[in-house]
Amino acid sequence: GAGVSQSPRYKVAKRGQDVALRCDPISGHVSLFWYQQALGQGPEFLTYFQNEAQLDKSGLPSDRFFAERPEGSVSTLKIQRTQQEDSAVYLCASSLSGQPQHFGDGTRLSIL
Amino acid sequence: AQSVTQLDSQVPVFEEAPVELRCNYSSSVSVYLFWYVQYPNQGLQLLLKYLSGSTLVKGINGFEAEFNKSQTSFHLRKPSVHISDTAEYFCAVSDRRSGGAQKLVFGQGTRLTINP
């Protein structure tokens, strides 16, 4: 497609379950970012990939959060043993190197 | 490290009136500046960006912003708003030194509501 695609759009999980969120960036975009947006807040940076290399994971809130981009295209954000505070919208963005980021519509995660 | 403060959490205006959304930033290094718009249940769309050059930047949908280095501000303006401008607006900065790794630091957002 023409834009960044994220799936699922909505995810409901019980506390303690593991979840996986997928991001399909714009074709050819080497840079890929994940952000977390809590209700009523601005997005906060989680992690950054350049191709398949994860160059910055300073924003990941705990070791329960893990992201990968094994072939330098699709990325998956995994959250293990989910907690209620993980409820948020998770946004993926991609860009050509040094260019503005294009965002997907996000995955709204609700932890019950 | 950088931080962004959006001074108004909500701004209600009447249709066809002018609007200004305020943004101040703090940074020990030079930054790029951005405004994004977020419609309900959607991701963020870039309105405009300041990279270098003229401090008055024009974006999409009739919006413009002015970079003021001395006041560390990047306020967003539109001379006449439309109902369709109702959305959440985010100001953001990124570190110029990071090259391609331009992670964004966002403000808390300003909800712009246009009343008929």
Q: Which positions of chain A have pLDDT values less than 50?
A: none
Q: How crowded is the C-beta side of A95, counted as CA atoms within 13 Å?
A: 19
Q: Does B104 touch chain A (CB under 8 A)?
A: yes
pLDDT of A98 reads 78
**Does residue B4 contact residue B91 with C-beta atoms inside 8 Å?**
yes
Binding-face residues of A in 33-52 toward B, CB within 8 A: 33, 35, 40-45, 48, 50
Going by C-alpha positions, the residue among A37, A18, A3, A31 that lies closest to residue A77 is A18
Interface check A55 vs B, CB under 8 A? yes
Tell me if B100 and A101 make a contact (CB, 8 A cut-off).
no
Q: What digits encode the pLDDT tens for the residues B79-115?
A: 999 999 999 999 999 988 766 568 999 999 999 999 9
Give yes or no for a contact between A40 and A88, defined as CB atoms under 8 angstroms apart: no
DSSP string, A46-98: EEEEETTEEEE-TT--STTEEEE-TTSS-EEEEESS--GGG-EEEEEEEESTT
Distance from CA of B108 to the nearest CA of A (A): 5
Closest partner residue to B43 among A48, A95, A106, by Cβ?
Answer: A106
A97 vs B contacts (CB less than 8 Å): 99-100
Q: What is the mean pLDDT of residues B39-43?
A: 86
* DSSP element (H, E) containing B68: strand B64-68
